[in-house]
């Protein structure tokens, strides 16, 4: 039996990143196939390629054994592939039926043929066992029902292969059950489903086959009956990567950064950072572990100065900088490697040498009095280029042209060579290739032994355990644990990160996964 979909050697590059690197995938007809991977592993890009929204740079795609080139979603639909996006694309003011036929209305003599539409709608609903009133206004529907409308929309267009992009992300548990029931029904009626998810328990429950993506590559295709969630997590994070161990301790007893009782409120006055205290000494790397969205970014923003803390003190070498401007803090020696280098770290359309000045433009060698020092800036940029191995034809190209790893090395270089007192490194190796990752680790270690105090935020637990001298765990805005990286495993960390130690009844599934 030929596979419904076969991808061979799919590669897709964007300026700065390799989203898919030689991806191979085989989806059998009539199965539910899950694609797992961390954020940034290349899942979405792969789905966009499958749905014709983006063309791969390399590789072949076979549908039912026939080689195809999809240049638009229209092509994909014609081949029987339909996609349900994570964010619904429905018109609230129209009825279910109107939404379903929108864009592929059956017509007779130039008018929309609602009778034909209704007949076809009923046929589809019956064939796949999906029930919903076609005359309901979409704005009155629950989230789960809206999702069903999206699925019907795709089936209405004759799709037999469905791509569901993180379908459970927006659903409550009861709706997830309903969705899974529908998915099983669709499978029984002959549909093939490809779905993206990173909730491991759910994947194990529903999928017939699981393919794991990591850093744009397919690392494994497994049978859910033969693996547990722990195995999957390991495949996703990849613990066999080069280890980022630091070696002998260089921690001194001079405190560089002292955060005391810092609280940051969100727009609704709820604390997103809740009474956080921590100390970082010179020569020490303090790692923050936590599931994304537990206040790490807000804590970092409060230290760097883009968010104003509502309570608490932040002292840098004994001086309270909690309410200083970002520029004053930068000048006082706070260096920052942002979590999203393209949006917060770089001027993508400006030349490299101007990027090297960003954040340091008020000081030599980047400026002289009120003037920009172009010669000094360029000289410093060349230094960064050679000592941080930034691979670029010259320093006048725009930052856009560099690969993600080289962009990151440029940012790290500019931050570290400014002789900072404190370095905040937020996900410093996210989305960069293994070689650049090792280089970044190397530079972090070197700065540490030169006496730099570093705050490291990372989703890569091996990176945190390997590099940090102390690990703190952040959960719902609070620091819930301080751990010694020498006697903690990623699994222990996972338990703290999801709040399992609190005996919380809402423990997310990932936590159950890591405890197995």
Q: What are the residues binding other proteins (CB under 8 A)? A: 15, 242, 304, 306, 325-331, 336, 338, 343-350, 354, 357-362, 367, 370-372, 374, 389, 391-393, 397-398, 400-403, 406, 435-436, 438-439, 442
Minimum CB–partner distance for residue 221 and other proteins (Å):
29
Helix (H) or strand (E) holding 423: strand 422-426
Measure Cα distances from 128 to 71, 208, 214, 316, 352 in Å: 29, 19, 34, 63, 55
Burial class (CB in 10 A: 0-12, 13-18, 19+), 56: buried
Which region holds residue 215: left if phi is over 0, alpha if psi is between -120 and 50, else beta?
A: left
Minimum CB–partner distance for residue 13 and other proteins (Å):
8
Distance of alpha carbon 416 from alpha carbon 58, whole angstroms: 37
Q: Which residue has the tokens 């969205």?
A: 293
Minimum CB–partner distance for residue 11 and other proteins (Å):
13
Nearer to other proteins (CB atom), residue 242 or residue 293: 242
Minimum CB–partner distance for residue 362 and other proteins (Å):
6
Nearer to other proteins (CB atom), residue 168 or residue 339: 339
Nearer to other proteins (CB atom), residue 169 or residue 397: 397
- The CA dihedral of 463, 465, 466, 469, to the nearest 10 degrees, is 120
Comparing CA positions, the residue from 453, 473, 475 lying closest to residue 464 is: 473
Nearer to other proteins (CB atom), residue 100 or residue 395: 395
Structure tokens at 147: 């999702």
Nearer to other proteins (CB atom), residue 55 or residue 372: 372
Nearer to other proteins (CB atom), residue 202 or residue 354: 354
Minimum CB–partner distance for residue 215 and other proteins (Å):
16
Nearer to other proteins (CB atom), residue 201 or residue 361: 361
Minimum CB–partner distance for residue 355 and other proteins (Å):
9
SS (H, E, C) 227-264: CCHHHHHHHHHCCCCCCCCCCCCCCCCCEEEEEEEEEE
Minimum CB–partner distance for residue 414 and other proteins (Å):
10
Q: Is the dihedral of CA 230, 234, 240, 241 positive or negative?
A: negative
Q: Which residue has the tokens 């989230």?
A: 143
Minimum CB–partner distance for residue 457 and other proteins (Å):
15
Comparing CA positions, the residue from 514, 501, 474 lying closest to residue 201 is: 514
């Amino acid at each position: 039996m030929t596979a419904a979909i076969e991808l061979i050697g799919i590669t897709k590059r964007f300026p700065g990143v390799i989203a898919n690197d030689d991806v191979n995938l085989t989806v059998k007809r009539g199965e539910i196939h899950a694609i797992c991977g961390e954020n940034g592993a290349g899942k979405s890009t792969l789905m966009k390629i499958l749905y014709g929204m983006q063309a791969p740079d390399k590789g072949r795609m076979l549908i039912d054994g026939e080689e195809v080139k999809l240049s638009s979603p229209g092509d994909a639909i014609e081949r029987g592939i339909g996609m349900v996006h994570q964010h619904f694309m429905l018109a609230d003011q129209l009825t279910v039926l109107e939404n379903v036929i929108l864009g592929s209305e059956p017509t007779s003599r130039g008018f929309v043929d609602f009778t034909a539409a209704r007949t076809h709608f009923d046929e589809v609903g019956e064939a796949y066992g999906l029930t919903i009133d076609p005359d309901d206004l979409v704005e009155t529907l629950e989230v789960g029902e809206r999702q069903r409308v999206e699925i019907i929309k795709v089936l209405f267009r004759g799709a037999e292969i469905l791509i569901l992009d993180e379908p459970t992300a927006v659903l409550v548990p009861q709706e997830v059950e309903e969705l899974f029931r529908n998915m099983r029904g669709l499978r029984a009626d002959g549909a093939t489903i490809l779905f993206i998810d990173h909730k491991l328990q759910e994947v194990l429950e529903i999928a017939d086959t699981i393919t794991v993506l990591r850093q744009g590559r397919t690392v494994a295709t497994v049978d859910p009956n033969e693996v547990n969630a722990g195995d999957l997590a390991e495949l996703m994070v990849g613990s066999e990567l080069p280890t980022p161990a630091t070696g002998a301790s260089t921690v001194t007893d001079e405190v560089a950064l002292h955060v005391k009782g810092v609280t940051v409120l969100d727009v609704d006055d709820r604390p997103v950072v809740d009474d956080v205290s921590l100390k970082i000494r010179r020569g020490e790397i303090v790692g923050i572990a936590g599931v994304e969205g537990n206040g790490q970014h807000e804590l970092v923003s409060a230290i760097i100065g883009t968010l104003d803390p509502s309570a608490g003190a932040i002292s840098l070498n004994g001086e309270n900088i909690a309410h200083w401007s970002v520029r004053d803090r930068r000048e006082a020696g706070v260096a920052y490697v942002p979590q999203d280098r393209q949006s917060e770290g770089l001027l993508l359309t400006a030349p490299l040498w101007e990027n090297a000045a960003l954040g340091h433009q008020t000081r030599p060698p980047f400026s002289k009095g009120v003037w920009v020092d172009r010669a000094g800036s360029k000289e410093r940029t060349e230094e960064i280029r050679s000592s941080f191995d930034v691979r670029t034809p010259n320093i006048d190209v725009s930052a856009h042209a560099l690969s993600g790893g080289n962009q990151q090395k440029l940012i790290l270089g500019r931050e570290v060579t400014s002789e900072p007192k404190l370095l905040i490194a937020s996900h410093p190796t996210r989305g960069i290739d293994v070689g650049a990752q090792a280089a970044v680790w190397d530079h972090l270690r070197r700065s540490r032994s030169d006496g730099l105090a570093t705050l490291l935020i990372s989703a890569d637990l091996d990176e945190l355990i390997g590099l940090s001298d102390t690990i703190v765990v952040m959960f719902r805005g609070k620091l819930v644990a301080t751990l010694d990286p020498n006697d903690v495993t990623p699994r222990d960390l996972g338990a703290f990160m999801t709040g399992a130690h609190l005996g919380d009844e809402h423990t997310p599934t990932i936590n159950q996964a890591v405890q197995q």
